[in-house]
Amino acid sequence: MADDRPAQPKSILRGHKAQVHAAAFVRSNERLLTGDADGFLVAWDLTIMRPRAVWQAHENVILGVAGWDADRIITHGRDNKLIVWQFGEQDEDRLSTTLPLDPSPDPRPQPWIQYMLEVNTMNFCSFSFCPASPDSSPVAPEEALVAVPNTLASEAIDIFHLPSQERRHTVKLGEKNGMVMALSLFYLGQSLTVVAGFEDGVAAVAQLGSHGSWTIRYQTKCHSQPILSLDLSPNRDFFFTSSADSIIAKHPLPLPTPPKTVENGISRPSISQQETITDSQGSKPAETPSMKSPPLLSTAGSGGEHNRVVPTATTTTPQTTNAAVEEARVVLAEQPIKVINTKHAGQQSLHVRSDGLVFATAGWDAKVRVYSAKTLREVAVLKWHQVGCFAVAFAAVGTANDATASADSTKNGDDTASLAQSQLSARTSVTTVPKLVELSVRDKRMRQAKTAHWLAAGSKDGKVSLWDIF
């Protein structure tokens, strides 16, 4: 008989005094970084479920944290600072392990600061970064580009280069959309691309052209409230947005470069056909004005029923020639791939797992929800916290290509059951490999930390729940 009891977390990490706003797994899942509203950062050792390093990284709320490589991490705080810390395993020995919840008579030492940028944090929007070149190693790039909201115009985006700390671009995707609330910076092929979610519910995608101009490739409004978070699929073929309203949307990403085939002199990107708007139960609610895609930019020409031609976005790079502008003109897609009404408002910190099968959100109603990335169907509701959740993070479990067969198996069957079965089969095949030697207790714990399908959730109560699902 199946066990119908609700899922329970594998571990509860207690130690933050203030609400947890950011979380990230680093070093092949051996460490979980969590940041709170008082600016404290805790590095948890997942082999023993204990802190290995604790320090106050910022003087205000930590908005985001990410690992650069095995020896560096980036934190972004509401004290208007973005800091790159040297944080390798050898650096942990001199750091404090006294948790923020415990009184400490002495100041906690900090790791060495490699770089510090003065940035705008009025938006509550976290940073995004990527290698400085599309040909750089994505694992440990020596140079990086960092995107944050502009210091003076909160609707614009600044892109800085590290280690030079120079501002390379300022991108304006629209002055009437309000503040930038969420963003992502990455390469599509050789094209530097930025995705942004705005205060008025608009999501936009822009790419940097060969002549230094930014072109808006996609723009739509699915949300009636500010976009709280967004994330990309591992294969860079679509992205998701969540909002203060109850809508979750799946959006297309343009082709890496405009195709050579033209129609009436206009290059057309490949856009997935729009799917029917449904709610989380599969029914079709009435379309509301907030779900429609009203004109957002002046139309320069007719691009078909769902597309239209738009000029390039504003940037601080030198003005391009007329020929360059004409080359950059593309068809703007206005329709998302799929939109669902989850009937649960206030889902944030949306995060897609590295295999591309599922994504999770942190809910103001204290629940963590897991959705199928393919169908947007809700496949799990994780309930342990009694107050709102603000942050979720997935441990890396493999590449999207490794999960292709598992994803295909969900085509014709029950989404939840097929997903769970495919994941179980994949994990069983790994664990049944014959052992040549008996593992030590430490090795077993390290192996468990690296291979578990961790999902971490940070809450307003200062606690972090750690789940092992699918």
Helices (H) and strands (E) in the chain, counts: 4, 35
Q: Is 430 helix (H, G, I), strand (E, B) or coil?
A: helix
pLDDT of residue 417: 45
CB of 397 closer than 8 Å to CB of 354 = yes
Q: If we measure between CA atoms, which residue out of 72, 209, 237, 235 comes closest to residue 141?
A: 72
Structure confidence by residue, pLDDT tens digits, 294-309: 333 322 333 333 444 4
Q: Is 405 helix (H, G, I), strand (E, B) or coil?
A: helix
Rounded to the nearest 5 percent, the helix, strand and coil shares of the chain are 10, 40, 45
Q: If we measure between CA atoms, which residue out of 225, 74, 223, 237 comes closest to residue 160?
A: 74
Angle at 358 between CA 356 and CA 362, to 5 degrees: 125
Structure confidence by residue, pLDDT tens digits, 26-83: 998 999 999 999 999 999 999 999 999 999 999 999 999 999 988 999 999 999 999 9
pTM of the model: 0.79
Q: Is 364 helix (H, G, I), strand (E, B) or coil?
A: coil
Residue 449 has pLDDT above 80, yes or no: no
Structure confidence by residue, pLDDT tens digits, 229-276: 999 999 999 999 999 999 999 999 987 655 433 333 333 443 333 343
Structure confidence by residue, pLDDT tens digits, 165-195: 999 999 998 778 899 999 999 999 999 999 9
pLDDT of residue 24: 97
Rounded to an integer, what distance in angstroms lies between the CA atom of residue 428 and that of residue 469?
14
Q: If we measure between CA atoms, which residue out of 251, 250, 271 comes closest to residue 259?
A: 271
Rounded to an integer, what distance in angstroms lies between the CA atom of residue 249 and that of residue 347?
12
Rounded to an integer, what distance in angstroms lies between the CA atom of residue 460 and that of residue 214?
39
What is the per-residue burial (b if ≥16 Cβ within 10 Å, else e) of 345-354?
Answer: ebbbbbbbbb
pLDDT of residue 325: 41
Domain boundaries along the sequence of the chain: 7-118+380-470, 124-341
